[in-house]
Amino acid sequence: MKARFTPSLFAHAEAVLNQLLRFDYPADAVVSHYFRDHRELGHADRAFVAETVFAVLRRGRSLEARCAGQLSDRRLLLAALAVTRNWTQRELAPVLKASEEEWLAAAKSMSDAEFAPAVRCDLPDWLYNALEAQFGVEEVVKLAQGLNQPAPLDLRVNTVKTNRDAVIAQFAAEDIVAVPGPLSPTAVRLRGKPALAKHPLFLSGAFEVQDEGSQLLGYLLDPKRGEMVVDFCAGAGGKTLLLGALMKNTGRLYAYDVSDKRLARLKPRLARSGLSNVHPARIEHERDTKIKRLAGKVDRVLVDAPCSGLGTLRRNPDLKWRQSEASVTELTVKQAAILDAAAKMVRPGGRVVYATCSLLTAENDAIIDAFLASHPDFTLTPASAVLARHGIEMAGDILRLLPHLHNTDGFFAAVLDKKA
């Protein structure tokens, strides 16, 4: 159902954007907080507000350029609706002022070719320069186009409780279009963004919302029945639950994180999942005594390292404006320390998978190169060979997922096996 476009609805979007552009908090948290305070907004109204303000975050630089020196939250929203959603002035009539009509027509007619490359790609200069150096001029444009599109809604089927065919069949019976994900054996991709929080399949633990690319990390770790496994940076536990299912609900799976708040979000998900092999625990840092006690004992460790998140700009477009070269440099120090701590936990013959949702070499290849140089007891195992055992066809020694090529978030993952 489409929201009815009114001055009141536009005012809500303007109020949310005003808060977002302060960049004090993550965009999804700001939007969720606003909706909790304005429960009068229905599902369609919320969708309109969220999609419109996120369009401004995604296309901020080129929309600013179209504001012709008269930058305001209002003009950014009008330009977003006209340019990114191709609304006509007739559709915008409930809010468009006569004094804005000439400007908006000119803004809509501007060609991206008029803008500098970083503006055309809607990236800050430092990030554009880094990505251009990695991917080249032509490819970075395609990458930026992929990053500036909304992400599809992906689910991961909980194989402890059901299977993918059954979930798709149930959605079909409800006229919800769902198809198998092209990469992950447990992925389902939905058309549109149906409300799922109260869906019986969700409440019963049959699925979780999870990007298809993220699901591949579990298959790279490839945990077996009865093993001791650690999800080192578990967060809210999306990958933890996948690992538990891959272990057939056997063995011991430790879910560690430094944030009580993130681990608290795991609890209801864990309760729905039906898993009994997961043991969440808060740690102070990567040198915590809980970690030291496991030295040389663990079969497999997943390090989904804290990172810039720049591969998730489809979902979190504010990150490109909140991160900086300095913040990335700080993260690389932490990433190297966490990977080193993970390596100490693994037994001979064990495995560490290092992963980020970053696009930057500094957080990815550079971390792996330095690790292998200082840890001669580890080798890089081709990711393609590990994934092939699960029927997943991906080329390359390292997993590299990009939104414009794979329609997933941007992910990097390396499989590091310890010599027996």
Active site residues: 357
Angle at alpha carbon of residue 124, lines to 120 and 125, rounded to 5°: 90
Q: How many CB atoms lie within 10 A of CB 77?
A: 22
Q: Quick check: 59 and 83 in contact, CB under 8 A?
A: yes
d(CA 122, CA 343): 38
From residue 225, alpha-carbon distances to 33, 161, 200, 220, 276 in Å are 41, 17, 29, 15, 13
Strands 346-356 and 378-381: unpaired
Summarize the chain as % helix, strand, coil (round to 5): 50, 15, 35
What's the alpha-carbon Rg for the chain, to the nearest Å?
Answer: 23
Encode burial over 207-233: b for 16+ CB neighbours within 10 A, e otherwise: bbebbbbbbbbbbbbbbeeebbbbbbb
Q: How many CB atoms lie within 10 A of CB 159?
A: 16
Tokens (6 digits) for 140: 């970075």
Q: Quick check: 216 and 391 in contact, CB under 8 A?
A: no
Which residues, including other chains, have CB under 8 Å from residue 31's CB and lie 6 or more apart? 16, 20, 49, 50, 53
